[in-house]
Amino acid sequence: MGLEERRDEEPDVYQPAEDSHLLAEAACERLEGDERVLEVGTGSGYVAGRIADRTDARVIASDLNPHAVRQARGAGVETVRADLVSPFRDATFDAVVFNPPYLPTDPENEWDDWMEHALSGGEDGRAVIDPFLEHVGRVLAPEGSVYLLVSSLTGVDEVVEEAGERGFSAVAVADESFPFETLTVLELLR
Protein backbone atom coordinates (compact mmCIF):
# COMPACT_ATOMS: atom_id res chain seq x y z
CA MET A 1 0.00 0.00 0.00
CA GLY A 2 1.38 3.44 -0.94
CA LEU A 3 1.87 6.33 1.48
CA GLU A 4 -0.92 8.28 -0.22
CA GLU A 5 -3.45 5.57 0.74
CA ARG A 6 -2.09 5.17 4.29
CA ARG A 7 -2.78 8.84 5.04
CA ASP A 8 -6.53 8.04 5.18
CA GLU A 9 -6.16 5.15 7.66
CA GLU A 10 -7.81 5.71 11.03
CA PRO A 11 -5.86 4.21 13.98
CA ASP A 12 -9.01 2.79 15.63
CA VAL A 13 -10.19 0.96 12.51
CA TYR A 14 -9.54 -2.67 11.52
CA GLN A 15 -7.44 -2.50 8.35
CA PRO A 16 -7.87 -5.12 5.59
CA ALA A 17 -6.27 -8.48 6.29
CA GLU A 18 -6.47 -12.06 4.98
CA ASP A 19 -10.03 -12.47 6.26
CA SER A 20 -11.17 -9.29 4.48
CA HIS A 21 -9.62 -10.48 1.23
CA LEU A 22 -11.09 -14.01 1.44
CA LEU A 23 -14.59 -12.63 2.07
CA ALA A 24 -14.38 -10.01 -0.68
CA GLU A 25 -13.22 -12.53 -3.30
CA ALA A 26 -15.86 -15.11 -2.32
CA ALA A 27 -18.65 -12.53 -2.49
CA CYS A 28 -17.46 -11.07 -5.81
CA GLU A 29 -17.36 -14.52 -7.40
CA ARG A 30 -20.98 -15.18 -6.45
CA LEU A 31 -22.66 -11.87 -7.22
CA GLU A 32 -23.99 -11.96 -10.74
CA GLY A 33 -25.92 -8.79 -11.54
CA ASP A 34 -27.03 -5.54 -9.99
CA GLU A 35 -27.82 -7.03 -6.60
CA ARG A 36 -28.47 -4.73 -3.64
CA VAL A 37 -25.67 -5.57 -1.20
CA LEU A 38 -25.14 -4.58 2.44
CA GLU A 39 -21.76 -5.01 4.08
CA VAL A 40 -22.17 -5.06 7.87
CA GLY A 41 -19.12 -3.95 9.89
CA THR A 42 -17.30 -2.46 6.94
CA GLY A 43 -14.27 -1.13 8.88
CA SER A 44 -12.02 0.51 6.26
CA GLY A 45 -14.61 -0.07 3.51
CA TYR A 46 -12.28 -2.50 1.71
CA VAL A 47 -14.76 -5.37 1.20
CA ALA A 48 -17.64 -3.10 0.15
CA GLY A 49 -15.28 -1.19 -2.15
CA ARG A 50 -14.02 -4.37 -3.82
CA ILE A 51 -17.58 -5.54 -4.44
CA ALA A 52 -18.55 -2.15 -5.88
CA ASP A 53 -15.47 -2.09 -8.12
CA ARG A 54 -15.63 -5.67 -9.36
CA THR A 55 -19.38 -6.24 -9.79
CA ASP A 56 -22.48 -4.32 -10.86
CA ALA A 57 -23.90 -4.55 -7.34
CA ARG A 58 -25.29 -1.49 -5.55
CA VAL A 59 -23.42 -1.51 -2.25
CA ILE A 60 -24.09 0.15 1.09
CA ALA A 61 -22.25 -0.47 4.35
CA SER A 62 -22.69 -0.09 8.10
CA ASP A 63 -20.40 0.02 11.11
CA LEU A 64 -20.84 0.76 14.80
CA ASN A 65 -17.45 2.50 14.95
CA PRO A 66 -17.64 6.21 13.93
CA HIS A 67 -13.95 6.17 12.89
CA ALA A 68 -14.70 3.27 10.53
CA VAL A 69 -17.69 5.14 9.08
CA ARG A 70 -15.41 8.09 8.38
CA GLN A 71 -12.68 5.98 6.76
CA ALA A 72 -15.13 3.97 4.64
CA ARG A 73 -16.87 7.15 3.46
CA GLY A 74 -13.44 8.58 2.62
CA ALA A 75 -12.86 5.49 0.48
CA GLY A 76 -16.06 6.26 -1.44
CA VAL A 77 -18.32 3.70 0.25
CA GLU A 78 -21.83 4.86 1.22
CA THR A 79 -21.77 4.03 4.92
CA VAL A 80 -24.13 4.51 7.85
CA ARG A 81 -23.34 4.26 11.54
CA ALA A 82 -25.48 1.39 12.78
CA ASP A 83 -25.69 -1.61 15.05
CA LEU A 84 -25.75 -4.60 12.67
CA VAL A 85 -28.82 -4.28 10.38
CA SER A 86 -31.02 -2.22 12.69
CA PRO A 87 -31.84 0.86 10.52
CA PHE A 88 -32.60 -1.00 7.30
CA ARG A 89 -36.05 -1.83 5.97
CA ASP A 90 -37.38 -5.38 5.70
CA ALA A 91 -36.43 -7.43 2.62
CA THR A 92 -34.13 -4.71 1.22
CA PHE A 93 -30.98 -6.65 0.28
CA ASP A 94 -30.18 -9.47 -2.14
CA ALA A 95 -26.96 -10.17 -0.27
CA VAL A 96 -25.52 -9.30 3.14
CA VAL A 97 -21.79 -9.69 3.75
CA PHE A 98 -20.13 -9.73 7.20
CA ASN A 99 -16.61 -10.27 8.53
CA PRO A 100 -17.55 -10.16 12.22
CA PRO A 101 -15.46 -9.79 15.36
CA TYR A 102 -14.86 -13.47 16.08
CA LEU A 103 -11.96 -13.99 18.49
CA PRO A 104 -12.95 -15.79 21.69
CA THR A 105 -11.87 -13.49 24.51
CA ASP A 106 -11.64 -14.11 28.23
CA PRO A 107 -13.90 -11.51 29.94
CA GLU A 108 -10.97 -10.56 32.18
CA ASN A 109 -8.94 -9.68 29.11
CA GLU A 110 -11.53 -7.48 27.38
CA TRP A 111 -9.88 -4.14 26.69
CA ASP A 112 -12.78 -1.78 25.89
CA ASP A 113 -11.93 0.24 22.79
CA TRP A 114 -12.92 0.25 19.11
CA MET A 115 -10.38 -2.44 18.21
CA GLU A 116 -12.04 -4.69 20.78
CA HIS A 117 -15.34 -4.14 18.93
CA ALA A 118 -13.54 -5.16 15.74
CA LEU A 119 -11.87 -8.29 17.09
CA SER A 120 -13.55 -9.72 20.17
CA GLY A 121 -16.45 -12.11 19.86
CA GLY A 122 -16.83 -12.44 23.62
CA GLU A 123 -16.16 -15.61 25.56
CA ASP A 124 -17.28 -18.07 22.84
CA GLY A 125 -16.38 -15.87 19.83
CA ARG A 126 -20.04 -15.63 18.79
CA ALA A 127 -21.28 -12.64 20.81
CA VAL A 128 -21.84 -10.59 17.64
CA ILE A 129 -22.43 -13.47 15.20
CA ASP A 130 -25.47 -14.78 17.12
CA PRO A 131 -27.45 -11.49 17.11
CA PHE A 132 -26.44 -10.99 13.47
CA LEU A 133 -27.95 -14.40 12.60
CA GLU A 134 -31.05 -13.51 14.62
CA HIS A 135 -31.71 -10.28 12.72
CA VAL A 136 -30.22 -10.59 9.22
CA GLY A 137 -33.18 -12.55 7.81
CA ARG A 138 -35.43 -9.52 8.30
CA VAL A 139 -33.51 -7.33 5.83
CA LEU A 140 -32.89 -10.07 3.24
CA ALA A 141 -35.01 -10.39 0.12
CA PRO A 142 -36.75 -13.80 -0.09
CA GLU A 143 -34.08 -15.33 -2.36
CA GLY A 144 -31.26 -13.42 -0.67
CA SER A 145 -27.95 -14.81 0.52
CA VAL A 146 -25.57 -14.08 3.36
CA TYR A 147 -21.77 -14.35 3.13
CA LEU A 148 -20.37 -14.74 6.63
CA LEU A 149 -16.71 -15.18 7.47
CA VAL A 150 -16.04 -17.56 10.37
CA SER A 151 -12.90 -18.98 11.95
CA SER A 152 -12.09 -22.41 13.34
CA LEU A 153 -11.43 -20.46 16.59
CA THR A 154 -15.10 -19.42 16.62
CA GLY A 155 -16.52 -22.89 15.97
CA VAL A 156 -17.81 -23.28 12.43
CA ASP A 157 -20.19 -26.13 13.41
CA GLU A 158 -21.74 -24.01 16.15
CA VAL A 159 -22.31 -21.13 13.71
CA VAL A 160 -23.86 -23.50 11.15
CA GLU A 161 -26.15 -24.90 13.87
CA GLU A 162 -27.23 -21.43 15.01
CA ALA A 163 -27.84 -20.42 11.37
CA GLY A 164 -29.99 -23.55 10.97
CA GLU A 165 -32.09 -22.52 13.97
CA ARG A 166 -32.67 -19.16 12.22
CA GLY A 167 -33.88 -20.91 9.05
CA PHE A 168 -30.69 -20.89 6.98
CA SER A 169 -28.84 -23.72 5.32
CA ALA A 170 -25.10 -23.18 5.16
CA VAL A 171 -22.43 -24.20 2.70
CA ALA A 172 -18.72 -23.36 2.83
CA VAL A 173 -17.76 -21.53 -0.38
CA ALA A 174 -14.13 -20.58 0.42
CA ASP A 175 -11.52 -21.37 3.03
CA GLU A 176 -7.90 -20.67 3.83
CA SER A 177 -5.67 -22.20 6.50
CA PHE A 178 -3.12 -20.44 8.65
CA PRO A 179 -0.92 -21.83 11.45
CA PHE A 180 -3.44 -21.02 14.20
CA GLU A 181 -6.81 -21.01 12.44
CA THR A 182 -8.75 -21.84 9.31
CA LEU A 183 -10.95 -19.13 7.86
CA THR A 184 -14.16 -20.16 6.10
CA VAL A 185 -16.73 -18.16 4.17
CA LEU A 186 -20.22 -19.56 4.70
CA GLU A 187 -22.99 -18.91 2.21
CA LEU A 188 -26.34 -18.93 4.02
CA LEU A 189 -29.58 -19.45 2.10
CA ARG A 190 -33.18 -19.90 3.21
Ligand X SMILES: C[S@@+](CC[C@H](N)C(=O)[O-])C[C@H]1O[C@@H](n2cnc3c(N)ncnc32)[C@H](O)[C@@H]1O
Interface residue list for ligand X (CB under 6 A): 14, 16, 19-20, 23, 40-44, 46-47, 62-65, 68, 83-84, 99-101, 117-118, 128
CB 125 → ligand X: shortest distance, Å? 12
| DSSP run (H or E) holding 38 | strand 36-40
Cβ-based nearer residue to ligand X, 23 or 188: 23
Picking from 146, 136, 41, the residue whose alpha carbon sits closest to that of residue 91 is: 136
Cβ-based nearer residue to ligand X, 100 or 125: 100
CB 34 → ligand X: shortest distance, Å? 22
Angle (nearest 5°) at CA 18 between 15 and 23 = 95
CB 35 → ligand X: shortest distance, Å? 18
Picking from 139, 137, 129, 149, the residue whose alpha carbon sits closest to that of residue 36 is: 139
Picking from 85, 88, 59, the residue whose alpha carbon sits closest to that of residue 72 is: 59
Cβ-based nearer residue to ligand X, 63 or 143: 63
